[in-house]
Structure 1
Amino acid sequence: DWSQDVQLCSVNEKGDLSTNNVSTDFHCKYQEGQLTLVLHRALPLKSGNSSRYACKLRSNQGTLHGYTTVQLQECCGRVESSLSSRGPNCTFSNVYPDGDVHWFQGSQNLSDGSVSQSTAKSVDNGWLTIYSWLTISGQETRSDVPYNCSLKSPMSDKYIASSLVPKLIPIKGKSQEQSTPSRAASQKTRTTVLFVLVSSLFAWK
């Protein structure tokens, strides 16, 4: 059987598999005399759920057991980026164990201090969220050269995630989109007034 503080799953002498449904983060399978524990979602060790997993074999000759600890590799679950009038920004979510954000514009590395870069980090259940942004002038924001944010892991010194920042929507186009509901509302108001006038005319007759 497999256990972590409580029993997770076991197989009896007939080969019947039973699972303790204490969580949906795992499932067990039994094939050719081998009981396998499959984890769907493993948390970082700092989350507090870092107890060792125990595997036990019971037979008429006694009991054998072994322990193992799940160690996550460097990873980044999701990256989102956007461009505003103040500059580009990126959010790296579900990062482990840590990372440094490097900014590029085309082939130019902007993390050399030539552009003001800010970074904020937060931790939730052992996972790290890294938010980084550049403060640039409006002229640089309108540049046709795209921005790219990349996350470098301190473990391997390699980039594990990156995102190409989408271009800023032109202000003119945005104004046209915002003005459309106003014209519709104005037309609706004129229709309502016309209906009231016609109703009043019939009532007067």
Structure 2
Amino acid sequence: MEVFLLATLFPLVSSATNSLVELRASDVVAGSCHGRVTLVCDVSEEKGITVSSLSWIHVKEKRPLCSTDHSIELKKQDRIRCRYTPQTRLALTISPLWPTDQGEYLCKLRSNLGMKNAKSQVQVQECFSGVNAVSSPSAVACHFYGVFPPGKVHWFHQGKNVTSAATSSIKEDHKGMYNVSSTLQVNEDSTAEEYNCSLWIPGAGTYLNSTKVHASQRTQRIADPNTAVSLHIFGLGSYLLLARVVMT
């Protein structure tokens, strides 16, 4: 009879204890690529509470990004910073933010007054890092790198969309961003004519960038001065175009 009463009362006591403490976290936190986001987890200030463990977990990766046991000195990773205010708050900052950081995060609390979980969602907004363009008498090419979400290159010439005549490729990097390249063959009589390559993001329904490229007698490279991109990203065709100039 005593065993039955204990088994019956235990869930009630556990539930009552669990309700003594509250955990709060922001629902959705949005940031741009290469930017910064901070997730904050707050513990309600209850009398007599002792926090034994407070941690942030990236649900997709199924591992704690930071965890504390009454310690203000938390481990620091390359892009992860954690700050713990004893008994009340654990803040997780990610900088720079990558698309692979997108998803659900779980704040977990263990205390003498019970256990609680709170969820936050990180969203990464569309972006791109830069663009390189190559031109020659027979082809123009554009390479957009650090793109998120995946996009497409649209080509325009004299007000007409000529994308169907282009060849394109897309590749994802370890950050969850994309390198998008496209090459358009042109007539060698169209030297000095202007072409426009534009980065279209289907999911957002918008162009993130447009770059003008001129077909030329000599191979030209138009690049973001703050970045350097290796030649292989343009593909074999563009590499040969550049190599031809080096050899002459």
The interval holding the TM-score normalised by the smaller chain is 0.5 to 0.7
Query: Structure 1 residues 162 and 31 mapped into 2: Cα distance closer, same or farther (>3 Å)?
Result: farther
Shift of residue 109 of structure 1?
3.2
Indicate yes or no: 2:133 matched with 1:81. Answer: yes
Q: Is the 8 A contact 1:74 1:155 kept in 2?
A: no
Shift of residue 94 of structure 1?
2.4
Q: In 1, Cα distance between the equivalents of 2:132 and 2:72?
A: 42
Who is 1:148 aligned against?
Answer: 196
Who is 2:108 aligned against?
Answer: 56
The one of 69, 78, 95 aligned to 1:24: 78
Indicate yes or no: 2:161 matched with 1:110. Answer: yes
The residue identity in structure 1 corresponding to 2:79 is D
**Identity over aligned residues, as a percent?**
29
Indicate yes or no: 2:170 matched with 1:121. Answer: yes
SS in structure 1 of the partner of residue 202 of structure 2: coil
Q: In 1, Cα distance between the equivalents of 2:145 and 2:200?
A: 14
Q: In 1, Cα distance between the equivalents of 2:63 and 2:91?
A: 16
Who is 1:174 aligned against?
Answer: none
> 1:35-50, aligned counterparts within 5 Å?
35-44=90-99
SS in structure 2 of the partner of residue 142 of structure 1: coil
Q: Is the 8 A contact 2:195 2:212 kept in 1?
A: yes
TM value normalised by structure 2: 0.53
Q: CA RMSD in A?
A: 3.3
Q: Is the 8 A contact 1:79 1:162 kept in 2?
A: no
Who is 1:65 aligned against?
Answer: 117
The CA deviation string for residues 134-155 of structure 1, in whole angstroms up to 9 with x for no partner, is 1101221323xx3321111111
Indicate yes or no: 2:207 matched with 1:159. Answer: yes
TM value normalised by structure 1: 0.63
The CA deviation string for residues 100-135 of structure 1, in whole angstroms up to 9 with x for no partner, is 211234x6133365xx22112223334322110111
Who is 1:191 aligned against?
Answer: none
Q: Which runs of 5+ in 1 are unaligned?
A: 172-176, 180-205
SS in structure 1 of the partner of residue 119 of structure 2: strand
SS in structure 1 of the partner of residue 125 of structure 2: coil
Q: In 1, Cα distance between the equivalents of 2:126 and 2:159?
A: 26
Q: In 2, Cα distance between the equivalents of 1:112 and 1:165?
A: 14
Q: Give 1 or 2 for the bigger CA radius of gyration.
A: 1
Query: Structure 1 residues 112 and 124 mapped into 2: Cα distance closer, same or farther (>3 Å)?
Result: closer
Q: Is the 8 A contact 1:119 1:131 kept in 2?
A: yes
Query: Structure 1 residues 147 and 24 mapped into 2: Cα distance closer, same or farther (>3 Å)?
Result: same
Q: In 2, Cα distance between the equivalents of 1:117 and 1:26?
A: 41
Aligned length: 163
Q: In 2, Cα distance between the equivalents of 1:91 and 1:118?
A: 12
Query: Structure 1 residues 40 and 108 mapped into 2: Cα distance closer, same or farther (>3 Å)?
Result: same
Who is 1:2 aligned against?
Answer: 56
Q: In 2, Cα distance between the equivalents of 1:79 and 1:30?
A: 40
> 1:181-192, aligned counterparts within 5 Å?
none
Query: Structure 1 residues 25 and 148 mapped into 2: Cα distance closer, same or farther (>3 Å)?
Result: same
The residue identity in structure 1 corresponding to 2:114 is G
SS in structure 2 of the partner of residue 75 of structure 1: coil
Q: Is the 8 A contact 1:9 1:18 kept in 2?
A: no
* Structure with greater helix percent: 1
